[in-house]
Structure 1
């Protein structure tokens, strides 16, 4: 019978030799990095790595060991690259500047999605207060545009809901516009069914709301198959429409705040099917800035269309001991089944671990954009 203890001792000796050889290899990798930095060569040489993996795989005596060796050396070379990235200087993070705080006074111009009584307006006031200059916009695109062209210093947009998930249009617009997230605000959302005064629920035939309002109230609406739902702008904009149309067969899904703003009656409150229903709003600006105390990073990147590429990107976050809190994917227009990834992780843009993470992803992804660094709020 095989002596288990003796086998373990032999493995320990082999492991010790492997560690010694690994450290020798990493030291030589530093020399390689210095050469690449001095000559302007990129850290990642995909063709060289492929050739190396092919050659070490052939050294193995069995097919299984060959595949295992290839995987092992993929990880070793990945660790080597990560070490080399720490020796580089430039990265996108250097283009962001720190501010003490976001100004919150009557000279601060803010655009929010929707009209008076909207959840976005409420989120804006909870973050900025009321001593500001603000105005609404009818679409997410318009908010982004007003910030981009300087008509507003900051914009307020919903990006994620605890019931329905991420709002995909916002992710696409963060790529399209050169705007950045500088803060976030979380708002508890209680949807209500609003109508003209004196209306009975049995009279309602059409309900207007933003798609998110309809989705969040889906189970309530399923009880009334005779009611038709229509997507129409912001929730507050729908409340305003019900008032202006003066039609008792119409109702809107919006907030109690909107009911008060437009003098509507609340037919049913808390109709969202999840009791804990909160929306995360982002504060955007066209300035590349971050506030003192920022602890949350948002980035997006696209990848080479090859096996393991997403794993390699996320490994930079793991290697630098950072906590990833969210990942979202969006299809890339004009490309079949290729995606852009949006990732949130903890950290400040000044920290070495974050800088190293960004350097690695920047070097290995097809492209990367820092969407913002800000103070995170727990949902």
Structure 2
């Protein structure tokens, strides 16, 4: 019978030799980085790497070892590139960005647009994020809000991007790639839906409920308790409340905020109707200017991937290897390209951090269409 302890001793000896050779290889990679610093040659040479992998695969014995050799040396090459990116960043090679750091965002006496109407949760997010000294107005659609900023009519737009119960607002992710705008802040708003009706109306009189699709979904358990009710999708929660006020029909109700009910003179027919009592919507503040506050601690990026095995892992490894904590990853279909996706990643960091510069350098060298969507700080939830 084979002696297990002897096998382990032999593996220890082999591993020590592998480590010695790995460090020797990394030293040569540092010399390669020095050459590239002086010549401007790109770190990633896809053809050179693929040719090298093909040779190593063919030199391995057996199909299992051939595949293993490919995976092993892919990792070694990826680590080598990361060390080269690190050295290029350390030497200040190609780290300039169009972003400008400011002590604080200019928030007073600015024009701010939000989607919806007064009393909507987006209105509450705006009031929480901005000081009183602003000029605010609303538009009907998310696209219209983006265009107001893109065309210079508004300095900022307030848009919902994610809900803790129903997930992302897909339209916003798509619009962020369509318009050359930047996330400069975010605001969380605790969503506390209530059922609103005309004064004097009771729940028994209701047969139709209006609200935004996400609000209807967030209150689906309550709505299921009233199977005879018809639900109607609306542009937003506050607009639903406004409709109840304007149409004056006793059989109609709206799911909206308490503030919307007060604004439009409606009565609360039912409270706490959302099935998640920790329901929070995250709003982003969008600007046409690529600026970020010096204490900003969160970065959003998007990118596409080369069509090859393991590419998503390799892209995310730039965050992992630089000890950057990812807080979110999403994917969205790329219009006009069936079964191809664009990835969105949020991670902690500041554009001035060396680790962030290293990660972005690697991502930009190896991914497709990389965009830094913004560097910003998070406000406390209201």
Q: 2:309 aligns with which of 307, 311, 333?
A: 307
2:129–2:379 contact (8 Å) kept in structure 1:
no
Query: Bigger CA drift: 250-259 or 224-233?
Result: 224-233
- State the distance in 1 between where 2:379 and 2:318 align: 24
Report the Cα offset of residue 327 of structure 1: 0.4
Is 1:69 the counterpart of 2:69 in the alignment? Answer: yes
Q: Please give the root-mean-square deviation of Cα atoms over the aligned residues, in Å.
A: 1.6
Report the Cα offset of residue 39 of structure 1: 4.2
Q: After superposition, where does 1:91-106 map in structure 2 within 5 Å?
A: 91=95, 94-105=97-108
**Residues paired across the two proteins, number:** 377
The residue that corresponds to 1:23 in the other structure is 23
Q: 1:90 aligns with which of 90, 94, 97?
A: 94
Q: 1:183 aligns with which of 179, 182, 185?
A: 185
- State the distance in 2 between where 1:304 and 1:329 align: 15
2:186–2:376 contact (8 Å) kept in structure 1:
yes
Q: 1:368 aligns with which of 352, 355, 370?
A: 370
Is 1:139 the counterpart of 2:141 in the alignment? Answer: yes
- State the distance in 1 between where 2:165 and 2:181 align: 27
Where structure 1 has 5 or more consecutive residues not aligned to the other structure, the ranges are none
- State the distance in 1 between where 2:325 and 2:117 align: 37
Report the Cα offset of residue 27 of structure 1: 2.1
Report the Cα offset of residue 96 of structure 1: 0.9
Deviations 1:212-259 (A, max 9, x none): 111111111111122111111111111111111122222111100000
Where structure 2 has 5 or more consecutive residues not aligned to the other structure, the ranges are none
Query: Bigger CA drift: 337-346 or 126-135?
Result: 126-135
The residue that corresponds to 1:13 in the other structure is 13
Is 1:166 the counterpart of 2:168 in the alignment? Answer: yes
Q: After superposition, where does 1:37-56 map in structure 2 within 5 Å?
A: 37-56=37-56
Q: After superposition, where does 1:84-233 map in structure 2 within 5 Å?
A: 84-86=84-86, 87=88, 89-91=93-95, 94-105=97-108, 107-233=109-235
Report the Cα offset of residue 152 of structure 1: 1.2
Deviations 1:323-349 (A, max 9, x none): 111100100001111100000111111
- State the distance in 1 between where 2:54 and 2:9 align: 32
Report the Cα offset of residue 40 of structure 1: 4.1
Report the Cα offset of residue 31 of structure 1: 2.9
- State the distance in 1 between where 2:380 and 2:326 align: 14
SS at match of 1:197: coil
Report the Cα offset of residue 211 of structure 1: 1.2
Report the Cα offset of residue 8 of structure 1: 2.8
2:241–2:254 contact (8 Å) kept in structure 1:
yes
Structure 1 residues 214 and 148: CA distance shift in structure 2, 3 A: same
